[in-house]
């Protein structure tokens, strides 16, 4: 006679495979999100320098 635990374990045939797919899917999404954040930080750090340089080059009108 089989125990209740053994019967439950026999019903879980495809579960480790599905859990593995879900695990790697979530891991991929997290790595993609981290990559997007890092790329956006790099792009933002380059843009203000261009804006500051263009503002410095503009001639400002002087008063009387």
How confident is the prediction along the chain (64 residues), in pLDDT tens digits per residue? Answer: 788 888 887 888 888 888 999 999 999 999 999 999 999 999 888 765 555 555 556 667 777 7
Q: What is the pLDDT of residue 6?
A: 85
Q: What is the pLDDT of residue 54?
A: 56
Total domain count for the chain? Answer: 1
Task: Give the Cα separation of 12 and 7 in Å (integer).
Answer: 9
41 domain-assigned: yes
3-state DSSP helix/strand/coil % of the chain, to nearest 5 = 80, 0, 20
**Is the alpha carbon torsion for 42, 48, 51, 53 positive or negative?**
negative
43 domain-assigned: yes
Q: What is the pLDDT of residue 30?
A: 98
Task: Give the Cα separation of 57 and 49 in Å (integer).
Answer: 12
Q: CA 30, 36, 37 angle in degrees (round to 5)?
A: 90
For the entire predicted model, the pTM comes to 0.53
Q: What is the pLDDT of residue 21?
A: 94
Residue in 55, 59, 58 with CA at minimum distance from that of residue 47: 55
């Amino acid at each position: 006679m089989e125990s209740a635990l053994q019967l439950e374990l026999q019903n879980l045939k495809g579960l480790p495979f599905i859990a593995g797919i879900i695990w790697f899917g979530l891991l991929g999404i997290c790595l993609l999100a981290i990559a997007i954040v890092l790329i956006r930080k790099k792009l933002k750090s380059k843009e203000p320098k261009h804006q500051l340089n263009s503002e410095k080059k503009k001639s400002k009108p002087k008063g009387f």
